[in-house]
């Protein structure tokens, strides 16, 4: 229960219809097994202490009295477990019978939460036996085991040792109704919703049930733990499959296949859920009642241990790049299309039929050129209106120069070559810089000269300069201010480096042009470099970006966790070690994470004056959109946390 993670489990015990003693034993065993696996919240099915399919036996006092004793026995036998447990039980209140979820912790029954939407259609006729929950709210009932406990729908169970963990319950059909109780629960502050269900198995229902659970977790920005009755129920008319799921904000974290003897267990990141809700102005919460006039919620405290949660959930090592090939191709097509249509709109709006792209033979300029070609094709413009400019300098290699020129020819665009060497040398002379000193002045003079050439050609041709810098470079400030940092429209500004590579490969794989594809594959095999330092004696690239600023694989992981998730440095480090620990050791991850924070804070001034460009994903750095950050913010707090590791 550190870093916001809480392990939860949905488990389906074996049941015998109306055999309460047997069912209690099975529920206790399942609770113990789940806790042995580290679970802190354990959810068992609807009416599992009696069996859901008892039918008119629910009118028998013998069964109901046994269920009451069974709940007390379950609480007593699980008293040593460090977990919040939910178990389904029928309960009589004021002459009515209710289908309830009982919340149990440390031997105490904390609350009874009745089902709100009781089905009475098709194969279900629960209204024959059970009353719907009274109007939203809560009261108190005597259990005969100490203090009265809350009874009602408006109950929130708050963990005192993990304040972001706030749990509420609904039961089966409640989720299927037009207005599930979980909506109000989430608005009242619940971060985890549990659902005790007895959903039967019919053709196609498992897929629909999965959609409901995952969709509700997304809509409510919550964790959702769903468990269902298994095949031990009566099969007089229906069959039950034991379909268990754990979802978080639209992602299915764990699932037991129907009819499989397995559980669903994973970790819900409640801190991330709270952070996401905090950012969403449309996610409105309330103090007290949800609408300000309705019934209040009852807060029920409980306490759990704070030992470190062992992670088992999937954490993507490359969060911007889907691991599935088909999904990755679809992502690439989406991104490529957004980039191209964004540029097409800007060209159409400015009545511009000329675009100027600096091509270096590297990944970013290659992608920018491909996007520009797609935009021209969308508008029906002549590709000859694309001016690809190669500007060899002190570090340009034959390989990159050849790829830039050959690709331009293969795409049918206009190619120009302007060497920057004479102009830069003149500039060195003008400012008194020694060309033998390969410092930042040496490098940036070249970058700014290239930008000046592009801007001047655009003026000459009545066109616009298309920026090539990507999202990862912007995050690290790996761009020359008023050099490659500047353009008239930056098509790659929303694309992280790890995805740039796959976009270029996607075009290579699908372009149906062998000459173009061969060049693109070679570009993919070329080391990432700004080529601002002289090449090696053998003509190979001497200056490799990742040797200087760190692996983009790591930086893109950091970027996602910091900006999209809002995680603290300690948590980013932990997740990076978990997801990428097979590739990088902990010391390497920590060292580059410090570099990320230093550069990210120090380079905000470059991002504060970015040119326009399309947002293509959930992480963006535009000062007009996603990132409103002061250029003078200090990284002290963030770096201090890393020093403690």
Kindly list the catalytic residues: 46, 115, 172
Residue matched to tokens 């655009």: 458
- CA-to-CA distance for 634 and 645, rounded, in angstroms? 20
Contact yes or no for 217/224 (Cβ under 8 A): yes
Alpha-helical segments (H) within 261-393: 270-279, 325-349, 363-379
Strands 251-256 and 264-269: unpaired
- CA-to-CA distance for 463 and 353, rounded, in angstroms? 7
Say how many residues make up the chain: 645
**What's the Cα-to-Cα distance from 457 to each of 443, 445, 462, rounded to whole Å?**
22, 18, 8
Helices (H) and strands (E) in the chain, counts: 20, 20
Strand partners, 149: 141
Stated as kind and residue range, the H or E segment containing 100 is: strand 96-105
Q: Give the pair of three-digit tokens for residue 451.
A: 């930008």
Q: Give the pair of three-digit tokens for residue 582.
A: 């097979």
Find the angle CA(467)-CA(468)-CA(473) to the nearest 5 degrees.
115
Strands 149-151 and 264-269: unpaired
Buried b (16+ CB within 10 A) or exposed e, 443-469: bbbbbbbbbebbbebbeebebbbbbbb
- CA-to-CA distance for 590 and 573, rounded, in angstroms? 7
Chain CA centroid to CA 204, Å = 28
| Phi, psi of 200, rounded to the nearest 5 degrees | -75, 165
| Phi, psi of 319, rounded to the nearest 5 degrees | -65, -20
| Phi, psi of 169, rounded to the nearest 5 degrees | -130, 145
**What's the Cα-to-Cα distance from 470 to each of 476, 569, 614, rounded to whole Å?**
10, 24, 11
Residue matched to tokens 């949800």: 290
What are the residues whose beta carbons fall under 8 Å from the beta carbon of 321, sequence distance 6 or more?
A: 328, 331, 498, 499, 502
CB atoms within 10 A of CB 350: 13
Find the angle CA(168)-CA(172)-CA(173) to the nearest 5 degrees.
115
Residue matched to tokens 């069964």: 63
Q: What dihedral do alpha carbons 377, 469, 560, 600 form, nearest 10°?
A: -160
Helix (H, G, I), strand (E, B) or coil at 609: coil
* Ordered DSSP codes for 204-231: THHHHHHHHHHHHHHHTTSEEEEEE--T
- CA-to-CA distance for 95 and 389, rounded, in angstroms? 85
| Crossing angle of the two packed helices 586-602 and 552-559, in degrees rounded to 10 | 60
């Amino acid at each position: 229960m550190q870093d916001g993670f809480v392990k939860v489990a949905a488990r389906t015990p074996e049941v015998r219809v109306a055999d309460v003693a047997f069912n209690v034993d099975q529920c206790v065993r399942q609770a113990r097994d789940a806790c042995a696996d580290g679970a802190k919240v354990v959810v068992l099915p609807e009416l599992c202490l009696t069996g859901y399919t008892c039918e008119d036996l629910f009118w028998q006092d013998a069964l109901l009295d046994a269920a009451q004793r069974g709940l007390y026995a379950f609480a007593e036998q699980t008293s040593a477990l460090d977990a919040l447990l939910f178990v389904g039980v029928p309960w009589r209140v004021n002459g009515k019978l209710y289908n309830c979820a009982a919340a149990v912790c440390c031997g105490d029954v904390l609350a009874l939460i009745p089902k709100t939407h009781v089905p009475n259609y098709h194969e279900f006729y629960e209204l024959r036996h059970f009353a719907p929950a009274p109007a939203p709210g809560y009261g108190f009932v005597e259990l005969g085991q100490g203090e009265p406990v809350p009874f009602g729908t408006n109950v929130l169970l708050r963990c005192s040792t993990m304040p972001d963990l706030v749990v509420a319950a609904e039961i089966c059909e409640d989720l299927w109704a037009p207005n599930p109780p979980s909506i109000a629960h989430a608005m009242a502050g619940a971060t985890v919703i549990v659902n005790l269900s007895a959903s039967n198995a019919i053709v196609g229902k498992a897929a629909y049930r999965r959609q409901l659970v995952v969709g509700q977790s997304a809509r409510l920005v919550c964790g959702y733990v769903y468990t269902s009755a298994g095949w031990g129920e009566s099969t007089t008319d229906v069959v039950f499959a034991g379909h268990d799921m754990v979802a978080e904000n639209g992602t299915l974290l764990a699932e037991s296949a129907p009819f499989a003897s397995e559980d669903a267990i994973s970790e819900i990141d409640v801190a991330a859920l709270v952070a996401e809700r905090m950012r969403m102005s449309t996610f409105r919460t309330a103090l007290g009642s949800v609408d300000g006039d309705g019934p209040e919620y009852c807060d029920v405290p409980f306490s759990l241990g704070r030992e470190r949660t062992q992670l088992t959930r999937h954490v993507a090592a490359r969060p911007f790049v889907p691991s599935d090939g088909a999904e990755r191709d679809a992502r690439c097509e989406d991104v490529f299309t957004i980039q191209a249509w964004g540029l097409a709109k800007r060209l159409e709006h400015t009545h511009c039929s000329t675009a100027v792209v600096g091509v270096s033979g590297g990944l970013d300029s290659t992608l920018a050129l491909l996007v520009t070609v797609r935009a021209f094709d969308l508008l029906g413009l002549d590709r000859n209106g694309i001016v690809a400019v190669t500007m060899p300098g002190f570090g340009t290699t034959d390989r990159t120069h050849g790829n830039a020129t050959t690709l331009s020819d293969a795409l049918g665009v206009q190619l120009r070559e302007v060497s920057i060497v004479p102009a830069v040398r003149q500039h060195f002379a003008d400012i008194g810089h020694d060309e033998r000193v390969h410092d930042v002045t040496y490098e940036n003079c070249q970058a700014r000269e290239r930008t000046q050439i592009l801007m001047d050609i655009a003026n000459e041709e009545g066109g616009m300069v298309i920026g090539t810098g990507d999202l990862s470079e912007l995050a690290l400030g790996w761009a020359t201010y008023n050099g490659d940092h500047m353009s008239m429209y930056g098509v790659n500004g929303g694309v992280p480096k790890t995805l740039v590579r796959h976009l270029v490969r996607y075009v290579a794989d699908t372009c149906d042009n062998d000459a173009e594809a061969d060049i693109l594959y070679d570009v993919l095999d070329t080391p990432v470099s700004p080529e601002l330092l002289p090449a090696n004696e053998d003509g190979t690239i001497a200056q490799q970006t990742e040797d200087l600023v760190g692996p983009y694989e790591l930086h893109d992981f950091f970027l996602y966790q910091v900006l999209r998730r809002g995680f603290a440095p300690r948590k980013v480090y932990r997740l990076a070690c978990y997801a990428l620990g097979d590739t990088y050791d902990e010391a390497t991850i920590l060292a580059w994470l410090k570099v990320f924070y230093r550069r990210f804070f120090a380079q905000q001034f470059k991002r504060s004056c970015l040119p326009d460009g399309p947002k293509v994903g959930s992480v963006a750095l535009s000062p007009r959109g996603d990132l409103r950050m002061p250029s003078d913010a200090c990284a002290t707090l963030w770096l201090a946390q890393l020093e403690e590791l």
